[in-house]
Amino acid sequence: MAPVGEFYFAKWKQMLAIHLDGAFLTTHATLREMYKTAEAVAYLYGFSAFQRSIGAKAPYVTAKHGLIGPANVVGKEGAKDGVGADVTCPEFVRTPLVQSNESLARVRWRRRA
């Protein structure tokens, strides 16, 4: 990833397609069955990044934030049939990968203080 001013538009579009199109296609494919069973919930997996910014991760944060809209719409459309949607936002898990990325680790541990 790179700062917004250095990020290529093609890469931006690719990241949004991976995260937003994937969530749409998965939700779309399961809704018919959800309406048949009623009392079903579509869980879209966001990330705590949508609640706060992480430097040099604009497309990722944007895509995760973008899951809220479709989840709200699915919830409104499906409410009368017992179908809902929610965005689950897990936190960081301290792994060697996270620890090796100083910007991620700083956000996580500064927030805890």
27-49 residue pLDDT tens: 999 998 999 988 899 988 887 76
**Chain centroid, CA 23 distance in Å:** 9
- Burial class from Cβ neighbours inside 10 Å (0-12, 13-18, 19+) for residue 12 reads middle
Residue 35 known to be catalytic: no
Catalytic residue (one of 8, 35, 45, 60): 60
Domain count of the chain? 1
CATH number for position 103: 3.40.50.720
Give residue-wise pLDDT tens across range 51-105.
666 667 788 888 888 999 999 999 999 999 999 999 988 776 667 766 666 554 4
Query: What is the band of 113 on the pLDDT scale with cuts at 50, 70, 90?
Result: very low
Residue 54's domain comprises: 4-112
pTM strictly above 0.75: no
- Reported as type and span, the H/E element at residue 19 is none
